[in-house]
Structure 1
Amino acid sequence: MAKNKFHDGPGPSQRQLRVGELIRRTLSEVLMRGDIHDPELNRMSVTVGEVRTSPDLKIATAYVLPLGGKGQDVIVGLLARNQSELRRIIGRKLGLKYAPELRFRLDQTFDQMDETRRLFDQDDVRRDVED
């Protein structure tokens, strides 16, 4: 069977998906309750859209967005600054043998959805799709 050169592999395992979702829920809960000792971070409402883990579960990348989109320029820095405390809390709450290193990225999916909607609203694209 020929391997598609554009395919990155088999995709995440069930374990990666399960651990990523557990981390996402826990991280969301911790941030919502303001359990972090950083008043600047606690003042912001943060949406954790997705958490992807590496195959060995040593790295977890959280895709975040401040509620309402305000503060996008500072949220990743605030979370990175509190990474060790967040990692400790997640490791304790989930009972993981090794808590993964947390990385934070701005969640771009909302922007991508808006752009897709904008493209589909164009007359020439709508005409091509309907045909």
Structure 2
Amino acid sequence: MESKRQKQVGKQIQKDLGEIFQKDFALSFDGAFVTITDVKVSPDLAIARVYLSFLMAKDKEAVLETIRENTKKIRGIFGQRAKNQLRIVPNFQFYIDDSAEYAQHMNEVFSKLDIPPAPEDDEEDDDIYTR
């Protein structure tokens, strides 16, 4: 269970990293639009797991690798923004968030299921409590 402080820091990281990706790194992503879907912060606020979603990305793994290669630079820019709010600038760990794709896949699986209609009950069964 995350504490209130962890949630606050996570939301701040999500907001700031979103701005950093849009302003400072937009050209580095080969036209892909990167969205931060979630941030989980460790109890000591030293590690932040950042979950990313990609739109218009030809190769998600390549974009993720570019982000991971620039983690130190991203952390530095974030540190300048958050220097008055956080004592420790967390180390970022970036992951692909595939929950939207998984949900879409599950919807496709459910739509392909052939579920027969329920059998109709006789009227006598409906009147079981009236006897």
* TM-score, normalising length: structure 1: 0.76
Q: Which runs of 5+ in 1 are unaligned?
A: 1-10
Which structure has the larger Rg?
2
Deviation, 1:68, is: 2.8
Matched, 1:123 2:111: no
Q: Which runs of 5+ in 2 are unaligned?
A: 119-131
Query: Share of identical aligned residues, percent?
Result: 27
Matched, 1:87 2:64: no
Runs of 4+ deviating beyond 6 Å: none
1:23 maps to what in 2? Answer: 13
Deviations 1:76-118 (A, max 9, x none): 2111111011111112212221100011001111112112322
Cα 1:69–1:39 change in 2 (3 A) is closer
Deviation, 1:51, is: 1.0
Please tell me whether the aligned partners of residues 57 and 100 of structure 1 are also in contact (alpha carbons under 8 angstroms): yes
Task: Give the aligned CA root-mean-square deviation in angstroms.
Answer: 2.3
1:111 maps to what in 2? Answer: 101
Cα 1:92–1:77 change in 2 (3 A) is same
**Aligned residue type for 1:29:** E
Deviation, 1:48, is: 1.1
Q: What is the distance in 1 between the residues matched to 2:58 and 2:14?
A: 21
